[in-house]
Amino acid sequence: MAAITDVMETYDASAIKEDISSVIFNLDPENTPALSNAGRRDVQNTLYQWQVESLPTSTFTNKHIEGAKILEVDAELDAGTATTLLNNYTQISWRNATVSGTLQSVSQHAKSQEMAHQMALRSKQLKIDIEKTILSHNPAIVGASGTARQTESLPHMVGRLGTAGSAWASSDTSIHIDTSGGTLTVVATSATGAHTDSTTAAGSLAPMTEALFMGVANGIWDNGGELDTVLCNGAIKREISDFGGRGASQIIVSPETVANNVTLVQTDFGDCKVMMDRHMRVTSGVDVGFVDWDYLNVAFLRPFTSQVLAKQGDADVTNLLCEWGVMMSNVQAFGWMFDVNSTYA
């Protein structure tokens, strides 16, 4: 079909207003399950401490004769139970934005002000920084003049306080996965000690299985903990969705829907929520964390604070800062799997 001669078309116009969405879509991963679900504690020092304790050992032979004298000899006195003092350090984390005076003044699509937009981005970035730090293998660094303090991460703390081994046992709260060869993760024995990541080839690492999952659940229960949530990446989530118990479930879906999504694993040791976290630590294998949120806190010496810094020429600078640390109240409420095959089988 021929076009009419001399018709003005959109191709000839130079002042058409752009159609820009009023929403700027941000596809960067911003979910922070550990930071969002952990409790909060305010602290007053860069070194903060807390006490933990376990129940005294019980017995099945606690019997006495009728009419016996109570505490007839000193040997019958029950020993006192002392608490254990744990500690960690806060670290300073910040992100900032610098915006020229002109950009602050001009009118833009979908933005009321450039600095506000930039600080919203920095806020998400800082929260992800903290999430990754909580789930890292970082040891504690005491800090000194010219040396930044560093908080001990959750996996580092669980690994050193739990009982680690090459295979799971009922006394373990920290678990390593057996492989066909290579070197497994070596957890630290002190808060400031190094956590040595596995050197085993990723393909040689054992995958997540229902038996391993239930083994950790069993261990947490044996230790007196309550199973609550498992944190995992996408591949491990798919493995959990393939657990055998899924086949016996009855669900109603539409003919156009494929349903294969497990968000709760019901075990003999309690119900366990399954929560995906994009920021689980990956080396040659991936971490899988079993977390009871009642025993995990983020300690804040200084909460998130916006600071307007000195002007840099014709530009404004705003800094978003917090001083924070990890606080795990009791290791018996946690389990951690290192060196799990990170590829969905």
How does DSSP assign 2-54, residue by residue? PPPTT---GGG-S-PPP---SS----S----HHHHHSEEEE-SSSEEEEEE--
Are 28 and 285 in contact, with CB atoms under 8 Å apart? no
**Over pLDDT 70: what percentage of the chain?**
79
pLDDT surpassing 80 at residue 176: no
Per-residue pLDDT tens for 224-254?
Answer: 888 899 999 999 999 999 888 655 555 554 5
Domain contains 139:
yes
Round the average pLDDT of the chain to a whole number and report it.
Answer: 82
Are 213 and 243 in contact, with CB atoms under 8 Å apart? yes
Backbone angles phi, psi at 105, to 5 degrees: -95, -30
Domain contains 10:
no
Give me the CATH number covering residue 168: 3.90.1690
Domain contains 27:
no
Domain contains 28:
no
Q: What is the pLDDT of residue 247?
A: 55
Confidence of residue 86 (pLDDT cuts 50, 70, 90): very high
Domain contains 63:
no
Lowest mean pLDDT of 29-33, 55-59, 145-149, 274-278, name the range. Answer: 29-33
Q: What is the pLDDT of residue 223?
A: 80
Structural domain count of the chain: 1
pTM of the model: 0.84
Q: DSSP character for 249?
A: -
Confidence of residue 140 (pLDDT cuts 50, 70, 90): very high
Give just the sign of the alpha carbon dihedral 100, 104, 110, 116.
positive
pLDDT surpassing 70 at residue 311: yes
Q: Can you give the residue range of the structural domain that contains 318?
A: 33-51+83-340
Q: What is the pLDDT of residue 69?
A: 72
